[in-house]
Amino acid sequence: MSMGSQQPGPSEVARDRVDVVGFPALDERFSRLNAFKLRALRACLSAGISPAITGGGGGHVARVKCRLTTLSTVYALREDGEPCTFVVGAHKRDCGDENDHEAAVDRLNLVHSCPEGVRPAYLAEDKAEIETKIAKMEERVREEARRTTPAGATRMPNTPNGGTRRLSSLATPGWGSASKPSGDLDERFPGAFHLRNHVSLLLQAGPVPAPTQGQTFATSRDFLVTVYAYAQQQQFTLERLMSASTSNFFHLRCERAQRKYRNTPGGCCPVQLMAQRADDGTWQIVAADLQHSHRFGGIEPTATPDRGSEGPSKRARYLAPSPPAADETTATPVQHKPATLSTASASLPSADLVSFFASLFPPDEAFSRATTLYRAGLSTTKDLVALLHMAPGTLALADAETRRRDGDWARTWSFVEVQEAVLEAFGGP
- Distance separating alpha carbons of residues 69 and 77, to the nearest angstrom: 7
Render pLDDT for 158-217 as a digit per residue (tens, 0 to 9).
433 443 333 333 333 333 333 333 445 556 677 666 787 888 888 888 888 999 999 999
Q: Phi, psi (5° rounding) for residue 406? A: -95, -5
- Distance separating alpha carbons of residues 335 and 331, to the nearest angstrom: 12
Beta-bridge partners for 382? none
Report CA Rg, the chain.
Answer: 24
What is the secondary structure of 277-298 as a DSSP string?
Answer: E-TTS-EEEEEEE---SS--SS
Q: Is the pTM of this model over 0.75?
A: no
- Distance separating alpha carbons of residues 229 and 203, to the nearest angstrom: 6
In the chain, where the domains are located: 10-150, 184-289, 328-425
- Distance separating alpha carbons of residues 187 and 362, to the nearest angstrom: 56
Q: How many CB atoms lie within 10 A of CB 100?
A: 12
- Distance separating alpha carbons of residues 242 and 239, to the nearest angstrom: 10
Mean pLDDT of the chain: 70
- Distance separating alpha carbons of residues 105 and 258, to the nearest angstrom: 36
- Distance separating alpha carbons of residues 72 and 113, to the nearest angstrom: 10
Render pLDDT for 251-301 as a digit per residue (tens, 0 to 9).
888 888 887 777 777 788 888 888 888 888 888 998 888 888 877 543 444
249 close to 273: Cβ distance less than 8 angstroms: no
Angle (nearest 5°) at CA 361 between 356 and 365:
100
Q: If you ran DSSP here, which 8-state letter would residue 25 be given?
A: P
**Which of 32-41, 51-60, 120-129 shows the lowest mean pLDDT across its residues?**
51-60
Render pLDDT for 298-355 as a digit per residue (tens, 0 to 9).
344 433 334 333 344 444 444 444 444 444 444 433 333 333 323 333 356 667 777 7
